[in-house]
Amino acid sequence: MSDPIAESSYGVTSHLLSLVWKFWRLGICKALVPLQTAWNAFSRPVPASCCELLTQLLLCVSLACVIAALAHHWLVSSQLYPQGPPALVITVCGLLVFLSLGLVPPIRCLFALSVPTLGSEQGRRLLLSYSVANLAVAVVPNIIANVGTAGRVLSCVTEGSLENLLNTTYQLRLVSQALEPVSQAGSRSLAFETQGNGSAFRLHTHRVSQQILDDFSSLELLAQAALGTQRVVTGLFMLGLLAESAWYLHRYLTDLRFDNIYATRQLVRQLAQAGATHVLASPPPWLLQAAQPKLSHEELLSCLLRLGLLALLLVATAVTVATDYGAFLLAQAAVAWARKLPTVPITLTVKYDASYTLLGFILFILNQPPVESMVASAQRSFQWELSSLPQDCHLPQAQPPRVTAALASGSLQLLAGTTLVLQTYAWRLRHAIAASFFPAQEARRVSHLQDRLQRRHDRINRLDRQACTIGTWGPKEPGQGTRAPESQGPQSLGSSLSLV
């Protein structure tokens, strides 16, 4: 026996879920209404009302501002151009883009087609190229700067230690010079001598540290050159994206068979009006349902393989970001350690006594203590400080990781991976966009597709009737062996064709 309480709770839960789903669909439909209205106004060649005209102008102004802002960021943020000339050029370009979008409907269609074209191979190349360029312009120079900061700390500490060594040698030489008169009075000389040339050693150390910094500078110049090349490649990919959109629009307007493989609602409605819905009873394999596209197993396998390659790029990006964090932590720890190095005060006290003894062996024989006569006595104190960092050494700050650039690059790579799965849907979206801008051309294409499906259906029926005719005529002459069908085959085929 079933529990009535459990059944009632299950019924209440199902009812609540159905209500939630109904309200969710209702909310989505209400949210899509203004978007559909804006798209109808944007795709209409001539606005039908003042409201549509205002909506179209606002959309064109917004798109022109976005394009101008992206181009300004492209030119100025890379620090390759000054502030003045790009601003003027971008203003003129934004005005030209606004006039083109507002006055030329095919250009609006071309711009709209470039969005789903990002889901194609050219679009993925553009996204990945911009992602790599973003890493090259933000993350890689940051890594080089932090490693250079750590190298600068090492150079400063090395120079400071060498200066301390040379300063200690100099102080000891001063001690020997200060005690020289006293030592001469005692007929003894106090000499301090250093082996080697301290200036040459210091110069050699400076040259080595400068060579390390020059190596890092050459790496930074190489990164800048790679960045410039990447910008050129990205620009070429952008032109290729626009060229592919223009090629699609040209083929759509000139070739009725191009990308005309979708069973749209307009086709179904037109077939219903003509009473020819039977042509879709057994649709051809190339006919795709525009409302419910499905990916084949081959397309899924290709997507998985390409996603594996994108995963390798994501791993390389993660390694680059981890290197950025590691270089920042290394530079930060090195700068903090160098600044905490204390200054060591040193005090050197030298006491010098000179005395002599007369007839010391006689007193030694008599077992008497020797009598010493003081000739000279001196006591000097010398003070100096040992500093680990030289006074003229400036320690740069560690550059924090570029989190925004890393997130932007990762997002672009994830978007490129998403376009692999949505590539089939992007093709269908391009067809829908072109159909929205050119309804008359879409009507001609639908009529052509209807005629094509009708011819296919008639051809299949004719072949079926021929097969039925041959099948019914074949057993009538069993005594003629195998020659009867051969003699009557062409006649039966001709009669069947005449009937058709």
What was the pLDDT predicted at 489? 35
Cα 124–Cα 129–Cα 131 angle in degrees, nearest 5: 95
Please write the tens of the pLDDT for every residue from 321-357. 898 898 889 888 888 888 877 777 777 777 767 666 6
Hunting for tokens 């879709």 — which residue is that?
280
Amino acid letter for position 235: G
pLDDT digit string, tens, across residues 72-108: 776 665 555 555 566 777 788 888 888 888 888 888 8
Number of helices (H) and strands (E), helices first, in the chain?
A: 15, 4
Using pLDDT thresholds of 50, 70 and 90, give the confidence band for residue 490. very low
The alpha-helical segments, DSSP class H, found in 388-438 are: 403-421, 423-437
**Average model confidence (pLDDT) for the chain?**
72
Q: Distance between CA atoms of 69 and 118, rounded to whole angstroms?
A: 20
pLDDT of the residue at 476: 45
Cα 223–chain centre separation: 16
- Is the pLDDT at 222 greater than 80? The verdict is no
- Residue 478, pLDDT score: 43
Per-residue confidence band for 397, with pLDDT thresholds at 50, 70 and 90: confident
Q: φ, ψ for residue 242 (rounded to 5)?
A: -65, -40
| Cβ–Cβ < 8 Å for 118, 424 | no
Quick check: 117 and 249 in contact, CB under 8 A? no
Distance, CA of 198 to chain centre: 51
User: What is the average per-residue pLDDT within 134-146?
Assistant: 81
Please write the tens of the pLDDT for every residue from 234-280.
Answer: 677 778 778 888 888 888 888 888 887 777 788 878 778 877 777 77
Query: What does the block give as tokens for 159?
Result: 């120079």
Give the pLDDT score at 482. 39
Residues ≥6 apart with Cβ < 8 Å to 346:
168, 171, 383, 384, 385, 386
Q: Which helix (H) or strand (E) holds 223?
A: helix 198-254
CA distances from 434 to 388, 419, 425, 426, 428 (A): 72, 20, 14, 12, 10
DSSP letter assigned to residue 190? -
The pLDDT of residue 215 = 62
Position 171 scores a pLDDT of 67
Q: Which pLDDT belongs to residue 113? A: 82
Cα of 477 vs its chain's centroid, Å = 77
Determine how many CB atoms are found less than 10 A away from the CB of residue 67: 17
The most confident of 196-200, 205-209, 272-276, by mean pLDDT: 272-276
Q: Answer yes or no: is pLDDT of 494 > 70.
A: no
- How big is the CA angle at 432 (ends 429 and 435), to the nearest 5 degrees? 150
Q: Lowest mean pLDDT: which of 148-157, 300-309, 397-406, 453-462?
A: 300-309
pLDDT for 76 equals 66
Instruction: Name which of 53-62, 358-367, 405-414 the model is least confident about.
Output: 358-367
Say what the pLDDT of residue 335 is: 85
DSSP secondary structure code for residue 478 in this structure = G
**What is the DSSP secondary structure assignment for residue 343, as one 8-state letter?**
P
- Domain ranges (residues) in the chain: 15-103, 120-341+390-437, 452-473+487-500
Which pLDDT belongs to residue 488? 35
Section 463-486 average pLDDT = 55
Per-residue burial over 424-434, b = 16 or more CB atoms within 10 Å of its CB, e = otherwise: bebbbbbbebb
pLDDT at 419: 77
Percent of residues, the chain, with pLDDT higher than 90 = 0
